Amino acid sequence: MELDYTAIGKRIRARRSRLGLSQEQMAERANLSVQHVSHIETANTKLSLPVLVQIANTLGVTPNDLLCDSLEHAADAYRNEIDEIVADCDIHTLRVVSEIVKAAVPALRKYGVEQDK
């Protein structure tokens, strides 16, 4: 199985942005160069396992959260991502999101999009 380095980079960038960190701040906290962080986020370089763990620790996520696009069993990582996305939503927004999910999931199942659990 090939790792999706583009997806990993996008997840790192998204999490860093949600935390309000610049590339410079994240690089400093993770003991990396800014250029290396930039290359990881743009998939211009492949990150090593130790660097993946450093970045995950810096961002307060698990490596699975960053790798979930490449994992066959990533349901928990996606659930964590959804929880994080709606964590700061007010009750009205949560209600709307819930209604969207209630409508979308049966439609996805009807058209065979859901294939594994």
Looking at the predicted structure, is the pLDDT value of residue 80 above 90?
no
Spatial contact of 95 and 86, defined as CB atoms under 8 Å apart? no
The one-letter amino acid at 45: T
- Phi and psi angles of residue 22, each rounded to the nearest 5 degrees, phi first: -80, 165
Tens digit of each residue's pLDDT (9 = 90 or more) over 19-46? 999 999 999 999 999 999 999 999 999 9
Q: Are 40 and 52 in contact (CB under 8 A)?
A: no
- pLDDT tens digits for range 60-76: 998 988 988 777 777 87
pLDDT at position 1: 63
**What gap in Å lies between CA 81 and CA 43, rounded to an integer?**
21
Of 51-60, 61-70, 83-92, which range is least confident?
61-70
**pLDDT of the residue at 81:** 82
Looking at the chain, which runs of residues are DSSP E strands? none
| pTM (global) more than 0.75 | no
Fold for 5-72, please state it: 434 Repressor (Amino-terminal Domain) (1.10.260)
**Hey, what amino acid is at 69?**
D
Place 55 in a pLDDT band, splitting at 50, 70 and 90. Answer: very high
Q: What residue spans define the domains of the chain?
A: 5-72
Is the Cβ–Cβ distance between 66 and 56 less than 8 Å? yes
